Amino acid sequence: MPDRPEAVHTPVLCAEVVDLLSSRPGGTLVDGTVGLGGHAEALLEAGTSVRLIGIDRDGDALSQARRRLARFGPRVTLLHGNYGDLETLLEGAGRIDGVLLDLGVSSMQLDDAGRGFSFRFDGPLDMRMDPTCGPSAAQWLGAAPQGEIAGVLATYGEERYAERIARALVEARLHEPVKTTEALAEIVRAAVPGSYRRGRIDPATRTFQAIRIRVNDELGALERGLRAGFERLAPEGVLAVISFHSLEDRIVKRFFLERAAGCVCPPELPECVCGKRVEAEVLTKRPVRPTAAEVDANPRARSAKLRAARKVV
């Protein structure tokens, strides 16, 4: 398959990421969601002896990152894979001084009608980050029970009309499979009350988000990636995560707080029996948000939240 044209890409919270992941000389950083290479390029420029391992499940993005980072030569290693599998992907990688996970969907993916991530363009209902793995959104919608669909929309999309939308999708597929983004969006819009359709955001937004998360197992990958990434860090290494919605942010916040907590024994016990040690120092007491200037320049940065923690043991 020929490479796609170069996409425009603006990495979110880039200066803040570089500041948090400033590595020791000769250190190794992992960009578990390297995408088009924006954060990776900035990290490599900031540390002239830093080495970087870039991972992405999207082969098209990886091809563009390879071209963008080619000038750094052997300082860069790029791998096709899911950051949820960091434990396996980083076998034999040696000391890791920092890990970055940017959980956003790239502009290239959103703007490519053939990927099916957005209802702004009519295209095949795919939504897979890696089109070579697993069932597409259309395939999942064609087979999932109504209750499962409703649960996904309610849990991952926090959709108040999940039951109505799920029922409408199951009824629609009895007549014709839901195979395109336009078909899915229209079914959702017709299923919700008129007042909801006149709201601030398109009523299909939460459904698209929820199905994308389900198809790509995004929250499961996040939990696995957090555990594996933190475990692979050397002492004083930093794990930084950029999330874009509340479900992701809650998982990241809880993970960091659990690692930063010491003894969890009941206070009435005379001495600790749990043996839990403080493993991390939270570096972001509150999530770092983009400035107004960054949001003006890159509106897709609006919902970004950056959290980071340093491994202490």
pLDDT tier at 108, thresholds 50, 70, 90? confident
Per the CB < 8 A criterion, the answer to whether 73 and 43 are in contact is no
Structure tokens at 135: 């069932």
Structure confidence at residue 111 (pLDDT)? 75
The most confident of 24-33, 112-121, 132-141, by mean pLDDT: 132-141
pLDDT tier at 23, thresholds 50, 70, 90? low
CATH code of domain 14-108+218-261+271-311: 3.40.50.150
Per the CB < 8 A criterion, the answer to whether 241 and 192 are in contact is no
Tens of pLDDT, residue by residue over 238-257, are 999 999 989 999 999 999 99
What is the domain class of 117-216 according to CATH?
A: mainly alpha
Per the CB < 8 A criterion, the answer to whether 48 and 96 are in contact is no
Structure confidence at residue 5 (pLDDT)? 43
Structure confidence at residue 227 (pLDDT)? 97
Measured distance CA(113)–CA(121) in Å, rounded: 5
Do the domains 117-216 and 14-108+218-261+271-311 match in fold? Answer: no
pLDDT tier at 4, thresholds 50, 70, 90? very low
Structure confidence at residue 218 (pLDDT)? 95
**Domain parsing of the chain, residue ranges:** 14-108+218-261+271-311, 117-216
Residue 141's CB: how many other CB atoms inside 10 A?
Answer: 26
Tens of pLDDT, residue by residue over 180-229, are 999 999 999 999 998 888 778 899 999 999 999 999 999 999 999 999 99
| pTM flag (> 0.75) | yes
